[in-house]
Amino acid sequence: MPTNPVLEGLPSYFTQSLTDALEREVLIDLSVGDPHEPTPEPIRRALIDALTPESSYPSAAGTAELREAIAGWMARRHGVEVDPDRNVLASAGSKEAIFHLPLAVIDAAGPRRGVLWGTPGYPVYDRGTRFAGGVSDPVLLRAEEGWRLDLAALEPDRLQRSAIAWVNHPHNPTGATTDRTHLHRQVELAREHGLLLASDECYQEVWFDEPAPSALEVCDGDLTGVLAVVSLSKRSGMTGYRSGAMIGDPDLIARLRRLRTTTGTASPSFVQAAATAAWRDQDHVTDRRAIFAEKRRVVLDFLEQQGIEVSGSQATFYVWLRAPGGDDVAYADALQHAGLLVTPGRSFGEGGEGWLRLALVPTLEECHLAVQRWAAAIADGRVPT
């Protein structure tokens, strides 16, 4: 049987080896970005109430109620008015939206097949590109530039070869944030060079000092050439529900609508009902943020006491630190023997070597326990300093 060489060439998704390790030992898992806090009760209730005896196919675009709730949230949270019919499309989480987006944009036989994305970064920008026949074009991100991808730093030729530029703020894995000036520059440059600016805003509700901006805020009401991808996973503790949305350029939304009746990736109707309840409420988001802030304080205080350098880490529930001794894999290994599972930076691609990502997903008590274990391992020399 023939096989797709893109699939054959993929390294295993980094979470798989971590999951294998977790099954072997009793570890505190600071690796995968799946927080333990429960989904708020009213959201679970909305799902149960929507579970009808009869089953029918869900709406691929998202129900009108869901798209209205998303538009309402966009207006409240970001001050951007969008049309639920022309600018909003539901997705089954942001991962599949990111993966499928190039299928609606890239002409695999055309000259503009490049997709720009920052490395270290979320691997799905690359994977979606390659399966769609595009050319993955990673841009090295640097600590001294705040881990931001800046289109202004790229050669015009490179922009002209590209169909899509991904930005991701707050950023996985570094937790770095951006500001409206930087985002505005990206929108302007993408438009000038005729490529789509795709903004992965999966973590935009997990901020601490200042609310994270959306790329849609800097478009002056004209969403041409810009798409924001948002998610309930981190915002509302709904990773298992699979619910997100795409918001932006009306022409692209129309194309994606056509595409997505084919991909069969709509969330079930009862998930869409739960998602509608989630987008309508902001209080639970504030509560969750307060919990993440507490956990973050525990870990940041500990790292500061130990003199371990932290970079980015202004938002998200990730903390990004320089691996003492310089070898991220060796340090993650040593921590695993001390009972802590963390992700070596290189798992997120080039530019991540020498760094580690902690996902503050265990409970607050477990975070306290994690830093105790870590401190004990440092004290008796089991991890390098």
Ligand X SMILES: Cc1ncc(COP(=O)(O)O)c(C=O)c1O
Q: What is the smallest separation between the CB atom of 334 and ligand X, expressed in angstroms?
A: 25
Residues 74-78: contacts with CB within 8 Å, 24+ apart?
74/214, 74/216, 74/247, 76/282, 77/205, 77/211, 77/214, 77/282, 78/213, 78/214, 78/216, 78/217
Nearer to ligand X, 238 or 383 (CB): 238
Enumerate helices (H) and strands (E) in the chain, giving the number of each. Answer: 13, 13
Residue number with CB closer to ligand X (228 or 252): 228
Residue with smaller CB distance to ligand X, 350 or 365: 350
Out of 39, 129, 214, 231, which residue is the one contacting ligand X (CB under 6 A)?
231
Size of the site for ligand X (CB under 6 A): 14
Is position 174 an interface residue for ligand X (rule: CB under 6 A)? no
Nearer residue to ligand X within complex by CB, 112 or 171: 171
**Cα(297)–Cα(211) distance, rounded to whole angstroms?**
18
Is residue 267 close enough to count as binding ligand X by CB under 6 A? no
Residue 239 sits in the site that holds ligand X (CB under 6 A): yes
Tokens of 225: 């050439």
Of residues 28 through 87, those in contact with ligand X by CB under 6 A are: 33
122 is a site residue for ligand X (CB under 6 A):
yes
Q: Applying CB under 6 A, does 233 fall inside the site for ligand X?
A: yes
Choice from 69, 202, 359, 383 touching ligand X (CB under 6 A): 202
The region of 94-102, 177-185, 272-280, 376-384 touching ligand X under the rule CB under 6 A is 94-102
Q: What are phi and psi of 142, to 5 degrees?
A: -130, 145
* CA–CA distances in Å: residue 63 to residues 70, 119, 283, 319: 11, 35, 23, 36
Among 63, 87, 162, 172, binds ligand X (CB under 6 A): 172
| Omega before residue 123 within 30° of 0, cis | no
319 contacts: CB under 8 Å, gap ≥ 6: 175, 296, 299, 300, 303, 310, 313, 357, 358, 360
Residues that bind ligand X (CB under 6 A): 33, 93-95, 98, 122, 168, 172, 200, 202, 231, 233, 239, 244
